[in-house]
Structure 1
Amino acid sequence: MSGVFVIGIVLSLAGLLVPIPLMALDLLIGAVQAYIFAVLAMVFIAGAVGVGRRKPPSVSPQSEPTRTPP
């Protein structure tokens, strides 16, 4: 009779303990998603801000190679 009680207790605790690793996995996945979103947002914002600061390359007549007549 005591074996039945032990099995009952173990099964009742298993229902409480099984969701804990799944909740931890859910938290880990959420943290990874937040990290990736933050990195991608920083890259996008840095690229958008950096576009206004760049100067287009200017071509001056002195920088062109001179050709010698044949």
Structure 2
Amino acid sequence: MAVMSRLCAVCGAPFTATRTDAEICSGACRKRRSRAVTKAREEKAAADLARLLHLVSAALDESPSTKGMN
């Protein structure tokens, strides 16, 4: 088993990796990255929903069935 010196992808601290695919130095950094990924996904979903609502609202404003209602 090869031991490699790496830098943590989250905090940048050096750590000793025992796996070739290791990127994170600790459980705390693993959790920090997981929370950041979850937050980014939630923010993207909220932006996508806002964009969709805007498109639907614009489509309803231009709909012939609603033109005479205002």
How far has the Cα of 1:44 moved from its partner? 0.5
Q: Which runs of 5+ in 2 are unaligned?
A: 1-14, 16-24, 66-70
- Highest Rg: 1 or 2? 1
- The question of 1:34 aligning with 2:43 is answered yes
Corresponding residue for 1:20? 29
Report which of the two has the higher share of helix.
Answer: 1
Corresponding residue for 1:50? 59
What is the CA–CA distance in structure 1 between the aligned matches of 2:63 and 2:37, rounded to whole Å?
39
Report which of the two has the higher share of strand.
Answer: 2
Runs of 4+ more than 2 Å apart: none
RMSD: 1.7
Question: With CA pairs under 8 Å and 6+ residues apart, which has the higher RCO, 1 or 2?
Answer: 2
Corresponding residue for 2:12? none
